[in-house]
Amino acid sequence: MHIPDGYLSPSTCATLYTASAPFWYVALKKVKARLHTKLIPRLALFAAFSFVLMMFNIPLPGGTSGHATGVGLATVVLGPWAGMLAISTALLIQALFFGDGGVTAFGANAFNMAIAGCLITSVLYRTLLRVFQKRSWGEAAAAGLAAYVAINFSALLAAIEFGVQPLFFKDAAGHPLYAPFPLSVTVPAMLIGHLTFAGLAELAITGGVVAYLKRTSPALITSSSSAFRWKPVLAVLAVLIVLTPLGLLTAGRAWGEWSARDFQNAEARAKIEQASGGVTAPRQAPEGLKRFENLWAAPLRDYSPNFIANAPAGYILSAVLGVALLLIVIFSFGAVLARRS
C-alpha cells in the first residue's frame, strides 16, 4: 500500500499533500495541547510499533504481498490526531531512509493510511464500543473491527489514486504516463488481498494487542499516564524486531510497487498480469515511472544495508535503525513543542 515515486502524477501528489496539510496542522495543535499528559513517549512507541509491523509482509492472492499497518492500534491508544502524527512519521522515515513509499507520494500515503485510516478507526471504534460496552471483550473486538475497516478503506483510496492516472495522464500516443491500470483493475487488485489476508491480520493484531494491553498495562487504554507500565509494550516491540526476518519469506511484491525494469522483463511482466486479473501490462514502463522512480536514493533501500551480506541480519538492523530514527525525530519534535509552549 506504499505508493512509490512515479506511479502518481506530480499534480496528484501535490493535491494529496495539500489535502493532508490541514490535518497535520490540527494534529500538531492537538498534540501540543496534550504535552502535559506525557503523550510524546507513547507517540514514539506506537510509531515504532507501526514501523516494525509494516515490515512483516504476508502473501496475498495473485502472487503479491501486503502487511498490517498498526493504524488501528495507534488510534485506539493515542487518539486519532496523535495517531496521525505517529503513522505519518513512520511513513516519512520509511520513505526517506528505506525507500518504502515514494517521497513525492508521501502525502498520498499519509492521507490514505495515517489520516483516513485514523479517522475511520476512531469513528468506528467509538461506535462499536457503545454496541459492545457490556462485554469483557468489547474493547478488543471494537478495536479489531475498526482497524479492519480502516485498512480496507485506505487500500480503496490507493486503488482509486492508481486507477484515475490513466484517465487523466497520457502521452501523445495515448499511453499512460504513470500507473498504467484502470479502476476496473486497481480496485479488485487492492481490495481482494486486503479484505482477506492483510485485513484479517490487522484485525487480529489490533484486537490481540488491545486485549493484551488491557491485561498488562491498562493505563495505555485509559490514558492514565501515572500508572503506565512500559515493560510489557517494549517486550512486544523487541520480540517483533527479532522476528522481522519472517517478512522476507514472502517473495511477491506489493501490488503497484513494481520497478520500471519489471515492465520490460517478460517473467516479471507475467507476474504483474497475473496479479492484475490477467489484464495485459505495458511492455515498456510508463514514462513518468522511469522519470521519477529514482528521484530519491534511500540509503537503506528495501531494508537491505549494502554493508551486511546476511539478509535477515540486515533486516533486523534496519528495524533497529528505523526505531532509533523515529525516537530521535519524535522526541526532538516534542522538545521543540515544549519550548514553544
Q: What is the CATH number of the domain that holds 70?
A: 1.10.1760.20
The pLDDT confidence band at residue 224, using thresholds 50, 70 and 90, is very low
Is residue 269 one of the residues assigned to a domain? no
Give residue 226's pLDDT: 46
Res. 134: pLDDT tops 90? no
Give residue 63's pLDDT: 85
Contact 159, 181 (CB under 8 A): no
Show the cell assigned to 124: 468506528
Is residue 329 one of the residues assigned to a domain? yes
Res. 225: pLDDT tops 60? no
Is residue 289 one of the residues assigned to a domain? no
Is residue 45 one of the residues assigned to a domain? yes
Give residue 166's pLDDT: 97
**Percent of the chain surpassing pLDDT 90:** 82
The pLDDT confidence band at residue 223, using thresholds 50, 70 and 90, is low
* Segments forming the whole domain that contains residue 181: 10-28+37-255+301-340
Beta-strand ranges (E) seen in 253-302 are none
Total domains present in the chain: 1
- Please provide the size of the chain in residues: 341
Is residue 268 one of the residues assigned to a domain? no
Show the cell assigned to 229: 507500565
Is residue 275 one of the residues assigned to a domain? no
Is residue 138 one of the residues assigned to a domain? yes
The pLDDT confidence band at residue 220, using thresholds 50, 70 and 90, is low
Tally Cβ neighbours within 10 Å of residue 184: 11
Give residue 76's pLDDT: 94
Task: Please tell me the distance from the alpha carbon of residue 240 to that of residue 50, in angstroms, as a whole number.
Answer: 11
Task: Please tell me the distance from the alpha carbon of residue 287 to that of residue 337, in angstroms, as a whole number.
Answer: 42
Assessment of whether the complete model's pTM goes beyond 0.85: yes
Is residue 250 one of the residues assigned to a domain? yes
